[in-house]
Amino acid sequence: MRTIYLLSLMILTGLFSCNSSSTQSTNTDTAASAMATDTGMHMMADSAKMIAPLPAIPAGAAVYFKNLKNGETVKSPFKVEMGVKNMKVDTAGLVLPDEGHHHLLIDAGDSVAAGTVVPKDAQHIHFGKGQTETTVTLPPGKHRLTLQYADGIHRSYGAALSATIEVNVK
């Protein structure tokens, strides 16, 4: 009988010690917490074999800044309006033909290679909920902004669906 109690106690101790979850929450949006809430970022290791190929880019498709021009001077914070031609803006999650969502690269190059998942950090902002505008706060100086379109699982369509401008922030 004593052995059963001891064994039960050891199992319970093991279960509780393996629990790594935390009940503490913070108000900061880290890349890890943002990815956990973004529907398109969850895949099991074996699912890589089942991922659809990157959809073809329709003729005439392009992304563009609706409200900003190359070389424009802006005051921080400023609004960025994102547009796309000949494709539909949709939420992250499913890979569908002629659909995708925007990413904003800030001082992070002119595009992400086609088929590469767009990183998610302070320089690579994801709009996986289908957003087409945002407000950006940047320090004074010249900054390079790139719109990058990607499929439902954040794979870049490459340079063909990117647009880059420079803005001067006052």
Q: What does the radius of gyration of the chain's CA atoms come to, in whole angstroms?
A: 22
Which ranges of 38-167 would DSSP assign to H, the alpha helix?
A: none
Which residue type occupies 13?
Answer: T
Q: pLDDT tens, 113-126?
A: 999 999 999 999 99
The residues that bridge with 32 in the sheet, in sequence order, are none
**How many Å apart are CA 104 and CA 85, to the nearest integer?**
17
Average pLDDT per block of 10 residues along the chain, 170 residues long? 50 46 35 42 53 95 99 98 98 97 98 98 98 98 99 98 99
**How many Å apart are CA 87 and CA 63, to the nearest integer?**
9
**Closest C-alpha to 61, from 151, 161, 148, 159:** 161
Domains located in the chain, CATH noted: 55-169 (2.60.40.10)
This model's pTM is above 0.75: no
